[in-house]
């Protein structure tokens, strides 16, 4: 009876480790995404699952040898297909994530073209799997695993080179590093981590195609997975944990994108043995572009918030007011304890709104104001306000949005 060789065991164990790790980690991320209803986390979960399942062919062949003492039937190129069918979801998920991180102009043209080429790649390997891959079979069935890599002179091979070099290693990598150079502090570190992860897992992925199974394969696969972990650490948010045991404001100080959404008030678990402090009525100042008055339903939001007993007044500038805007803003900021900023494309383009952001940030730094950003699209949250936990606006479920906004406002007030 032919026994699996030492190199066969190395090949099988390392591929199994990658597949199992990615399944566990990816499913966990998808669970968190479902629990928090966070779209970006779904893409992160798919990305992690797909990177690991790129080794499904080797893993399946390893299981076949263990249980049948023979290699997997590869008459139709099944070993290669089992791995590379995950190339398409990997590209879809990664390009969407990178697009949210760097938010380049006309990013959707790049993303959609990458998706189209990845779809063509998937069609190419299904139409001609035996020529799309270079298969190397063991001299004696069951002695080692079937080795395979992309045949770069076929349509599938050319497409994989274009996608990997031009899109992943080119456009996304260069833009991430450029963003890192432009940024400062923790955000710069995050951009560089994501950029480094792309370089590492792309490099080791290429090396995999040119390496014969052996000791070197261990280094390559460890490097490959380290790139995936760097991606996770680069994209994840790093909350600043309060030192005291009482309920405190939590700031996301190290996130280049917002992966998770805040849980609904009903899902927030209260800390044991803590009493809700008495809160004196306070004022709120709403910062927004007057062009968004009707879009965000600003008057209605102010009216709804004022129905809560803790909130005294909700102040906001009205365009046709006969008051001096500078005097009004200065007085409103000094009289308020919470600054609610509605972030939008119009707000970013408004010099007046930017001035309000700067003034609020300075007051927050000396402990006189708390900031709650509200957004519909994350890319419109200015860098100055990104460290603060934010609330997503929803006109479809307006009452739910009001409750979430009120809950976040009260969290900030209780942290005074």
251 touches 239 (CB < 8 A):
yes
Helix (H) or strand (E) holding 106: none
Q: Which residues pair with 133 in a beta bridge?
A: 150
Q: Do 250 and 163 belong together in one domain?
A: no
Number of domains in the chain: 2
Of the three residues 216, 236, 256, the one that is the final residue of a domain is 236
Q: By residue range, what is the domain housing residue 348?
A: 241-414
Q: Do 157 and 265 belong together in one domain?
A: no
124 domain residue, yes or no: yes
Of the three residues 202, 219, 236, the one that is the final residue of a domain is 236
Tokens of 69: 């003492």
Whole-model pTM: value is 0.60
Of the three residues 207, 236, 265, the one that is the final residue of a domain is 236
305 touches 405 (CB < 8 A):
yes
Rounded mean pLDDT, 316-338: 78
The Cα 79–Cα 225 span in angstroms is: 21
Determine how many CB atoms are found less than 10 A away from the CB of residue 277: 10
Q: What is the pLDDT of residues 201-246, one digit of tens each?
A: 888 888 887 776 677 888 988 888 888 888 877 776 544 444 443 3
**CA 361 to chain CA mean position, Å:** 26
Between residues 2 and 81, the one the model is more confident about: 81
Q: What is the pLDDT of residues 6-36, one digit of tens each?
A: 888 999 999 999 999 999 999 988 888 777 6
Specify the 3-state DSSP secondary structure of 165: helix
Tokens of 332: 């409103």
Q: What is the pLDDT of residues 153-190, one digit of tens each?
A: 999 999 999 998 888 878 888 888 887 787 666 667 87
1 domain residue, yes or no: no
């Amino acid at each position: 009876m032919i026994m699996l060789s030492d190199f066969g065991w190395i090949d099988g164990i390392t591929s199994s480790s990658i597949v199992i790790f990615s399944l566990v980690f990816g499913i966990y991320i998808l669970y968190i995404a479902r629990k928090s209803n966070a779209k970006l986390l779904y893409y992160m979960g798919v990305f992690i699952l797909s990177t690991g399942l790129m080794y499904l062919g080797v893993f399946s062949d390893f299981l076949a040898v263990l249980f049948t003492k023979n290699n997997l039937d590869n008459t139709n190129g099944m070993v290669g297909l089992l791995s590379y069918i995950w190339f398409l979801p990997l590209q879809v998920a990664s390009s969407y994530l990178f697009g949210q991180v760097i938010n380049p102009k006309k990013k959707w043209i790049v993303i959609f073209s990458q998706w189209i080429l990845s779809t063509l790649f998937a069609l190419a390997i299904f139409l001609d799997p035996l020529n799309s891959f270079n298969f190397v079979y063991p001299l004696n069935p069951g002695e080692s695993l079937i080795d395979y890599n992309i045949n770069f002179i076929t349509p599938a091979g050319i497409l994989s080179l274009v996608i990997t070099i031009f899109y992943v290693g080119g456009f996304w990598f260069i833009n991430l590093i450029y963003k890192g150079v432009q940024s400062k502090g923790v955000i710069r570190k995050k951009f560089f981590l994501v950029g480094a992860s792309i370089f590492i897992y792309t490099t080791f992925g290429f090396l995999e195609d040119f390496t014969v199974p052996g000791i070197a394969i261990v280094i390559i696969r460890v490097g490959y997975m380290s790139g995936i972990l760097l991606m996770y650490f680069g994209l994840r948010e790093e909350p600043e944990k309060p030192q005291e045991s009482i309920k405190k404001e939590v700031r996301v100080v190290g996130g280049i994108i917002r992966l998770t959404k805040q849980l609904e008030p009903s899902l927030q678990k209260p800390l044991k043995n803590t009493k809700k402090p008495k809160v004196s009525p306070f004022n709120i100042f709403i910062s927004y572009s007057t062009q968004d008055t009707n879009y965000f339903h600003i008057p209605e939001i102010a009216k709804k918030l004022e129905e809560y007993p803790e909130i005294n007044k909700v102040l906001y500038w009205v365009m046709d007011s006969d008051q001096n805007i500078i005097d009004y803003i200065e007085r409103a900021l000094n009289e308020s304890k919470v600054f609610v900023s509605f972030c939008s494309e119009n707000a970013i383009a408004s010099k007046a709104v930017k001035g309000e952001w700067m003034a609020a940030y300075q007051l927050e730094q000396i402990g006189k104001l708390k900031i709650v950003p509200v957004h519909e699209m994350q890319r419109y949250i200015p860098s100055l306000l990104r460290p603060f936990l934010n609330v997503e606006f929803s006109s479809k479920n307006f009452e739910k949005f009001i409750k979430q906004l009120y809950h976040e406002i009260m969290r900030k007030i209780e942290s005074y």
